[in-house]
Amino acid sequence: MTASIKIDFVSDVSCPWCAIGLRSLETALSQVADEVAADIHFQPFELNPQMSPQGEDTGEYIARKYGSSAEQIADTQEMIRARGAELGFEFRKRGRIYNTFDAHRLLHWAEGAGKQKDLKNALFAAYFTEGRNISDHQVLEDVAAKVGLDVNRVHQILASNEYADEVRAREQWYLRQGIHAVPAVILNDRYLIQGGQPVDAFVRVLLKAAEETSARQPI
């Protein structure tokens, strides 16, 4: 029997471990497809809510926020690149980090259009692989068009404050639940997987959640 599992994937578009976590989750789901049917909802989290539209140099930002040396930054970026490569995701060197609030507004809307996961993956690729400015409205329109979203509607949303209150409310809700680092992957409002975990870790928790869900279903 296939168990339906709700998954809330709390993350930021500018978070490399979130891209790794999503690839790990997707790979795990493909391995347990006979046991698990996933209903994934992408929830907003901003690592840098005060980031200006112009962004900040990536090295300077990491050194300032985490106190990392140039050598430590290089080592971490190589580890991230290698982890991504194992999962079929390409991390390239990127010069700046950007504000992601407008990207989250689009992701909120895209859920109703049935394109949220497609848009999330496309935004990760645009930023981490292509090095594009994901706070730039033209870039966001281009990325949305690639996944088949209505560009006129996207333009309308970005030109307004539409969904801003909804995104901020969701961000605050997860902060109140104790989510202060991402990715945070929540299964059936019960199991929490934090960080860019390997595929096996996701498989174990998915199967455990599926077993409990099936046990609760009437025969």
Domain boundaries, the chain: 3-53+99-216
3-state secondary structure of 183: coil
* Residue 67: CA count within 13 A, CB half-sphere: 0
So what's the architecture of 3-53+99-216 in CATH?
3-Layer(aba) Sandwich (3.40)
d(CA 179, CA 177): 6
d(CA 147, CA 204): 31
Pairing, β 3-11 against β 184-187: antiparallel
| CA angle (111 as vertex; 27, 216 as ends), nearest 5 | 65
| CA angle (83 as vertex; 82, 85 as ends), nearest 5 | 65
Per-residue pLDDT of the chain (219 residues; tens, 9 = 90+): 799 999 999 999 999 999 999 999 999 999 999 999 999 999 999 999 999 878 999 989 888 888 889 899 899 999 999 999 999 999 998 889 999 999 999 999 999 999 999 999 999 999 999 999 999 999 999 999 999 999 999 999 999 999 999 999 999 999 999 999 999 999 999 999 999 999 999 999 999 999 988 777 544
pLDDT score of 9: 98
d(CA 19, CA 183): 9
Question: In this structure, what are the phi and psi dihedrals at residue 179, rounded to the nearest 5 degrees?
Answer: -85, 110
Question: Residues 89, 121: contact at Cβ < 8 Å?
Answer: no
Q: Quick one: how far is CA 147 from the chain centroid? A: 16
Contacts of 96 (CB under 8 A, 6+ apart): 55, 56, 57, 58, 133
d(CA 138, CA 40): 27
